[in-house]
Amino acid sequence: MPVRQSYLAHVKAQAAAAKEKKAAFGPDIDLARYTEHIERGKIESLENLPTQAREAAIMTGISLEEEERAGSFLQVDQSVVYESLNKAYEGQLEIMSTTDALEKYDWLEEYFWKSVPVDQDKYTAQAALNMTHGYFIRVFAHQKPQYPVQSCLLVAENYISQNVHNIIIVEEGAELQVITGCTLSKSEAEGIHLGISEFYVKRGGKLFFTMIHNWADNFHVRPRTWAVVEEEGSFVSNYVLLKPVKSIQAFPVAYLKGDRASAKFNTVVYGLKDSFIDLGSRIILEGRETRGESVARTIAAGESTIYSRGDLVARTKEYCVAHLDCRGIVLSPRANIYAIPQLVSAGAMKAELSHEASIGPIAEEQVEYLMSRGISRDDAISVITSGFLNLDIPYIPEFLDRSIKEVIRATSEEAL
């Protein structure tokens, strides 16, 4: 049975009241500019994508052959054009559009707009009032697929507002890896991507989520993400942005609701040209013996501006521990980085919260050492910046780790 119409109407009423509400951070965007709606048909294989779209998807870690994938989901503009589930994993997980899931499961009301506030700002409101699919992924209790699920949210035309609502549910004792690529197939495209993501990790579950963003000079991005982690659950988020973007503003939240739950955010950002980037993470520690960590590496080149935010919020009366590590390098006299760490103890007398934030130049002695080994100055700087951004992110497949490192290397060279 579908989700009740009365509940959906209630959600839209809340959204309508917030459709002019500016976000707390980031430049305000005129959503009226982005009204194009394009319907597309299904494709039988990812390899049937047009050349530009194939190349864009590959750059975000998507396998067109789908080898070593548990399943795939592809949305182009406002249309879901491809869904597949590896036959080996039938009965272990399911993949479909969120629109279809709302029609199929009445119990989805317990998850749809239950963590991300629908009236948070004009961007959540737009996503609720004009929702265009998104993915629904659920891994069943105690199932642990060997290979990751991959999804790609691609924009192919100008003046699109891609309003997706993604839901991932990891049932009790289950584990899941998800690789998501968000990108453009036209480098000159102007538009906006609004991505609402609600992740639910049940008792003892584990979710490893890797998102690679490849946008362009005229594109705006406003993701809104919450992960709710229950007892002994684990959530790891890896985020990579290595291409220019007009503006992006996101502040994902991991809510450690259950005892001994944990969360980690790894963020790698290279600001290029005049990109305006406002990113961060918030970890709310509510259960006892919860653990959180947020690690960010940012480089600002050209005329880019980067805000790197991090919040640790302890609300438990019992022991909990969390650490924030934010480091930045400025490569240009016209670039800016703002590191904004915040620790909050709400009556949490046993909480251990700490942070380390630093912004500095590339150490000249490191450059001189590499030059003494016969490496040119530009190449030396490229090597150092590549190493700085390389976090050796855990829990991601080796092929994706190689891909990220290669893009970091190429970006470092291109920025010089």
For 345-364, the pLDDT digits (tens) are 999 999 999 998 888 667 67
Q: What is the mean predicted confidence (pLDDT) over 309-325? A: 96
Q: Quote the longest CA-to-CA distance of the chain.
A: 71
Distance CA(281)–CA(266), nearest Å, equals 10
Angle at Cα 144 formed by Cα 1 and Cα 225, nearest 5°? 60
332-371 burial code (b ≥16 CB/10 A, e <16): eeebbbebebebebeebeebebebeeebeebeeeebeebe
Residues 313/346, Cβ–Cβ less than 8 Å: yes
Where does the pLDDT of residue 400 fall: very low under 50, low under 70, confident under 90, or very high at 90 and above? Answer: low
Question: Is 186 exposed, middle or buried, given 0-12, 13-18 or 19+ CB atoms closer than 10 A?
Answer: middle
Beta bridge partners of 310: 281, 341
Q: What is the mean predicted confidence (pLDDT) over 65-87? A: 95
pLDDT higher than 50, residue 97: yes
Residues 247/29, Cβ–Cβ less than 8 Å: yes
Percent of the chain with pLDDT over 90: 76
| pLDDT value for 416 | 47
pLDDT higher than 90, residue 188: no
Where does the pLDDT of residue 405 fall: very low under 50, low under 70, confident under 90, or very high at 90 and above? Answer: low
| pLDDT value for 327 | 86
pLDDT higher than 90, residue 152: yes
| pLDDT value for 82 | 97
Percent of the chain with pLDDT over 70: 89
Q: What is the residue type of 298?
A: T
Where does the pLDDT of residue 230 fall: very low under 50, low under 70, confident under 90, or very high at 90 and above? Answer: very high
| pLDDT value for 239 | 93
Lowest mean pLDDT among 3-7, 111-115, 391-395: 391-395
| pLDDT value for 409 | 62
Higher pLDDT, 369 or 34: 34
Taking the mean position of all CA atoms in its chain, how far away is CA 157?
22
Beta bridge partners of 342: 311
Where does the pLDDT of residue 276 fall: very low under 50, low under 70, confident under 90, or very high at 90 and above? Answer: very high
pLDDT higher than 60, residue 412: no
Give the HSE-up count for residue 285: Cα atoms under 13 Å, Cβ half-sphere: 34
Higher pLDDT, 92 or 187: 92
Distance CA(389)–CA(271), nearest Å, equals 12
| pLDDT value for 410 | 56
Q: What is the mean predicted confidence (pLDDT) over 238-265? A: 96
| Residues 6+ away with beta carbon under 8 Å from 123 | 23, 29, 31, 194, 222, 224
Q: What is the mean pLDDT of the chain?
A: 91
Lowest mean pLDDT among 19-33, 143-157, 366-380: 366-380
Q: What is the mean predicted confidence (pLDDT) over 201-218? A: 95
